Homo-oligomer: A and B are copies of this chain.
Amino acid sequence: MRSSQNKVTTLTAAIASLVKNNCHLSIGGFTINRNPMAAVYEIIRQQKRGLHLYAHSNGQGVDELIGAGCVSRLEIAYAGSGRFAPTCIRFRRAVERGEILVEDYSNYQMTLRFMAGAMGLPFLPTRSGLGTDIIRHWGFAKSLRKNDNGLPDQKLITIDNPFGDWCDSPKLVLVPAINPEVTIIHVQQADRRGNARIQGLTFADIEQAKAARHLIITCEELVEEEFLKREPDRNQIPFIHVDAVIPITWGAYPTACYRHYDYDPRYLNNYRQTAEDEESYQTYLVEKIMGCANHQEFIALNDDEHLKNLIADPETGYATGLKRN
């Protein structure tokens, strides 16, 4: 499939065929930017269960998947949505209630774990984490690890530098690779074969993409291959890694997509309030998410004027002067 010349499909089909119950899934984006939200909502609609989810610092996407009951296990560095939710609400509740198992890493550790996966290595070293509870406390017990061959037998391993005092690093933490069964990222532009261009910060999306067995790319714009090939210095993901391409405008909404639209402060503030209350959260899920057949319908819940305010200014890449209180 990865050498196919046309990978364009529907989100419904891609999620149905690649995101299985209990699978190991990684989603791109960071807190309130470029989360693959259309895909997240489709996963919720298809009522996937038991997902083993990986992210580094993810906010909205992770919180909605947890809130909808799709997630059993989570490996993460940070679950927050910036000022809109310093700690994600449904994440916090699920962990405190013991509804999901969570295993903590630092942001760089998660980045290196995806990078190791992308590089085809079992681990990468870092000095981050030495002496901390991130090493001492495991979220997943040894037995759970043994029974899932998608997990390494150990969380993190501290070693002495085999090169002695080279680089003034007497000790290193080895972080094990992640090779998710599926990664989903949202990008600004892709072509039918799957070549992709991210504008602005790439976060750890490239590493997450290349570490995965299967890669789903949702994109704001489907463009011609020739268009991307005119400036290949600006592309990051070659088609050889890609399984499915789905063009979806507003595909990251309510999170931001640099140079296309900003995050929606109204949505994110409402979400925080809604997420705090069990009943209103269930109503939100039923009406806003399950109640829409697809992302287009979900976006259409907004009036045009509201969406227009979120459109990025071509100069700065965000909605300059947007009311964000």
A→B interface (CB under 8 Å): 116-117, 120-127, 152-154, 157, 159, 161-164, 166-167, 169, 172, 174, 176-177, 179, 199-200, 233-234
B-side contacts of A176, CB under 8 Å? 163, 166
Q: In the complex, A32 Cα to B312 Cα: how many Å?
A: 43
Complex contacts, A164 vs chain B, CB 8 Å: 152-153
A174 to chain B, nearest CB (A): 6
Q: Chain B residues near A157 (CB, 8 Å)?
A: 162-163
In the complex, A79 Cα to B280 Cα: how many Å? 68
- Interchain CA distance A167-B177 in the complex, whole Å: 8
Which residue of chain B has the shortest Cβ distance to A177 in the bound complex? B167
Inter-chain contact A172/B234, CB cutoff 8 Å: no
What is the CB-to-nearest-CB distance from A313 to chain B, in angstroms, rounded to a whole number? 14
Please state if B153 and A163 are interface contacts (CB–CB under 8 Å).
Answer: yes
Of all chain B residues, the one with the shortest Cβ separation from A153 is: B164
The 9 A-B pairs with the shortest beta carbon distances in the complex, nearest first, are A122-B167, A122-B166, A122-B169, A152-B166, A152-B163, A157-B162, A122-B163, A163-B176, A122-B161
Determine whether the beta carbon of A125 is less than 8 Å from that of B126. no
Instruction: Add 10 more A-B contacts to A120-B167, A153-B164 (CB < 8 A).
Output: A120-B127, A121-B126, A122-B166, A123-B166, A153-B163, A154-B162, A154-B163, A157-B163, A159-B162, A200-B233
24 A–B pairs (Cβ distance < 8 Å), ordered by A:
A116-B167, A120-B167, A121-B126, A121-B127, A121-B172, A122-B125, A122-B161, A122-B163, A122-B169, A122-B172, A123-B161, A123-B162, A123-B163, A125-B125, A152-B163, A152-B166, A153-B166, A157-B162, A157-B163, A162-B174, A167-B177, A167-B179, A200-B233, A234-B234
- In the bound complex, CA of A163 to CA of B166 (Å): 23
With most chain B CB atoms within 10 A of its CB, the pick from A123, A167, A234 is A167
Give the distance in Å from the alpha carbon of A176 to the alpha carbon of B159 in the complex.
Answer: 15
Give the residue name and chain of the B residue nearest to A202 (CB): B233
Give the complex CA separation of A146 and B186 in angstroms. 51
Tell me which residues across on chain B come within 8 A of A159, comparing CB atoms. 162
Q: How far is the CB of A167 from chain B (nearest CB, A)?
A: 4
